[in-house]
Chains A and B, each alone.
Chain A
């Protein structure tokens, strides 16, 4: 991320001033936040120079630095504003958590090169499958408790899969009637 910013700034054509040689120090300490998407170089001008010709006023620099979006798909343990844990949005875009704790996912490559895949293979690609237990633990760590709460939608297509009452070992409720 830092390297991208430097190369982007390097690409700008150099600016020379005859008398005002503004001393520019990029103060970018190693950030503690992984979600530091924007890099604003802090510019210190020299003590003797009170010029406003620094890079802060350079339009090109501002354009580059403001439009520098670095995708961050990692978990935030402590947010900058409130110090809270945040969800990895990439995870909830790809997985669904069933109420009994497992996550389901789609198959990889289900839209790719379908012309050369057989009919049974295409059928298998359309299916949604469970992730394994290690991945379940990983995904549980990536999301906040909001996503682990059961959702009671009335028109939920995944409604039959949220409980496992049919199988005698995984049943939660005692049988009311025989």
Chain B
């Protein structure tokens, strides 16, 4: 068979075969790679844990662990920074500048004695008796700007603060309140709604009794005679003339103090405040009167 015959035959075959179209083409064998079917979720991936090592084994080391090194947080010797923190009393500070600001913005009434209840009522002083807060520490920031005659009762005050208040003709007392009475002073309404009798204020614990009986600190248990001597001494120390209280028009207000057993101004221990009927119930029983007076 010659080459011519082969060509003829091939052409005959081609004529009889279907034409090349999209319907009968296919890829060359091995030209396409299909993805493998991995095991597990995400086609057998590493589930976000990374490749090799501590991360892949999900070995979450404990906080501060340095894979065998002496850890940083255990390296230095002990230092008693926080010793006795669960017993120490805290006195959240408020400065003289802030007090002056409260007065200037009419948040505090200076025609009445100021105590922690009126400062809390101003809404700009945060304190929490349940967090071992024991009242106000009056600090000396803005001591030169302070210029108001007030009768204030705080829980802690420095000598400079005492001098600043007395220089302006005011009176300052440092007084102790136990946590329970501080709860009452912080939210009196909540207590009155319970219908209980107002309790007595407790006496200070032994470690601060010295502070609250000393005249230099204007303690509420100090002798008034000694306090007036100390007022004079402090005025000489800081070099200002002590304004006379006796001739003052607010003399009665400036002389007003709480009883050491009293919590609220104008309310005595043992009384029950009835908010619903708007009346005050006072005990008459001799035994009760004796108890609340002690």
Q: Which residues of A contact B (CB under 8 A)?
A: 34, 73-75, 88, 90-96, 105-108, 110-111, 135, 138-139, 141-142, 147, 149, 151-154, 176-177
User: Helix, strand, loop or mixed for chain B's interface?
Assistant: loop
Question: Are A34 and B62 within 8 A (Cβ)?
Answer: yes
What chain A residues lie within 8 Å of B92 (beta carbons)?
Answer: 152
- Evaluate whether A108 and B131 lie within 8 angstroms (CB atoms) in the complex, with A92-B82, A141-B63 already known: no
* B 77-121 binary contact with A (CB < 8 Å = 1; else 0): 111111001001111110001000000000000000000000000
Q: Name B137's contact: one of A107, A108, A154 (CB within 8 Å).
A: A154
- Interface flag for B72 (CB, 8 Å): yes
What chain A residues lie within 8 Å of B12 (beta carbons)?
Answer: none
Given A73-B74, A74-B64, A94-B78, 6 new contacts (CB under 8 A): A75-B63, A93-B80, A96-B82, A106-B79, A110-B77, A151-B90
Q: List 26 A-B residue pairs with CB atoms under 8 Å apart, sorted by A's residue number.
A: A74-B64, A74-B65, A88-B73, A90-B74, A92-B82, A93-B79, A94-B77, A95-B79, A106-B79, A108-B75, A108-B77, A111-B77, A135-B72, A135-B73, A147-B82, A149-B131, A151-B85, A151-B88, A151-B90, A152-B91, A152-B92, A153-B88, A153-B89, A153-B91, A154-B89, A177-B142
Query: What's the count of A-B pairs with C-beta under 8 Å?
Result: 79
Output the residue of B81, B90, B92 with the most chain A CB within 10 A: B81
Question: Are A106 and B82 within 8 A (Cβ)?
Answer: no
* Cα separation A110 to B79 with both chains bound (whole Å): 11
What chain B residues lie within 8 Å of A90 (beta carbons)?
Answer: 73-74
* Cα separation A42 to B263 with both chains bound (whole Å): 58
What chain A residues lie within 8 Å of B64 (beta carbons)?
Answer: 74, 88, 138, 142
What chain A residues lie within 8 Å of B93 (beta carbons)?
Answer: 152
Question: Are B78 and A93 within 8 A (Cβ)?
Answer: yes
* Cα separation A88 to B72 with both chains bound (whole Å): 13
Question: Are A153 and B90 within 8 A (Cβ)?
Answer: yes
* Cα separation A104 to B14 with both chains bound (whole Å): 92
What chain B residues lie within 8 Å of A135 (beta carbons)?
Answer: 72-73
- Interface flag for B6 (CB, 8 Å): no
- Evaluate whether A177 and B74 lie within 8 angstroms (CB atoms) in the complex, with A151-B85, A153-B88, A153-B90 already known: no
Question: Are B133 and A152 within 8 A (Cβ)?
Answer: yes
Name the CB-closest residue of B to A104: B81
What chain A residues lie within 8 Å of B20 (beta carbons)?
Answer: none
Write the nearest CB–CB distance from B60 to chain A, whole angstroms: 11
